[in-house]
Amino acid sequence: VTASLHGHAMMKLCIFLAIAATALATKDFEPQCDQEPDAGICKAFFPMWGFNAKTGKCEEFVYGGCGGNGNRYETREECEETCSSKTLTSRKEETAAASTVATEDFHSATVAEVCRRPASSGPCLAYLPRFYYDPQRKSCRPFIYGGCKSNGNNFETLHACIEFCA
C-alpha cells in the first residue's frame, strides 16, 4: 500500500511538472504587447521599439519622453524577446516594410522633388543637427531637425546631402 501511495504521488508530481513546463513553453504575449505603442504627451525625440499586434512585428516609433504605456523598448531585440515569441520577422520582410514606409513618407517623390523641398524641422522638439539641399544656393546647408515628420530633404551628414542632391 505504501509503494502504491508513493507511486501515485510521483505520478501527480510528474503531471504537475509537465503542465508547468507546457505553460512556460507556450507563454502568451505580455499584456503590454496588446497595447498600441504610445508616443506619450511630451514632444521629445526618443527612438523606441513597440510591438504592433496587428502586424505581429516590433516596429520603431518615436517616444516623446513622458506618458505612454509599457509597449516601449530601447531595442528591437528587447521588444522581440518580450512580445514576438510566436512571430519573429525575417530580414526580407523588414526590408520590404522599410521600403513601404519610405514610399509612404515621400509619396514616391523623385530625387529632384525631394531636393527642392525646404528645410523642415517637423513638429517634434529634439535638437538634431542636419543638412538640407538649398536649390537657390545650389549647396547643402545646416539646419536643426526636431526628430519626426521629415520631408526627405534631411541628411545626417554633409557628404550624404551632397551625394544625394548635388
Question: Strand, coil or helix: what is 46?
Answer: strand
Q: What are phi and psi of 134, to 5 degrees?
A: -100, 105
CB 137 within 8 A of CB 131: no
Q: Return the pLDDT at 127.
A: 86
Q: Return the pLDDT at 10.
A: 53
User: Which alpha helices (DSSP H) does the chain contain, by range?
Assistant: 2-25, 76-83, 91-106, 111-116, 158-165
Please tell me if the domain spanning 28-105 has the same topology as the one spanning 109-165: yes
Q: Return the pLDDT at 129.
A: 93
- How far apart are the C-alpha atoms of 142 and 135, rounded to whole Å? 14
Name the one residue in this structure whose C-alpha cell is 505603442: 37
The set of residues, in sequence order, having a beta carbon less than 8 Å from that of 152 and lying 6+ positions away, is 105, 106, 109, 114, 117
Report the amino acid identity of residue 149.
Answer: K
Name the one residue in this structure whose C-alpha cell is 521600403: 99
pTM of full prediction above 0.95: no
Report the amino acid identity of residue 138.
Answer: K
According to CATH, the topology of domain 28-105 is Factor Xa Inhibitor (4.10.410)
Supply 91's cell numbers. 530580414
CB 71 within 8 A of CB 121: no
CATH class of domain segment(s) 109-165: few secondary structures
- DSSP assignment of 141-158 equals EEEEE-SS---S--BSSH
In order along its 166 residues, the chain shows pLDDT tens digits of 555 555 555 555 445 444 444 344 334 456 889 899 998 888 888 888 999 988 889 999 988 888 889 999 999 999 999 887 644 333 334 333 333 333 334 455 788 899 999 999 988 888 889 999 999 999 999 999 988 888 999 999 999 999 999 8
Q: Return the pLDDT at 105.
A: 47
Q: Where are the domains of the chain?
A: 28-105, 109-165
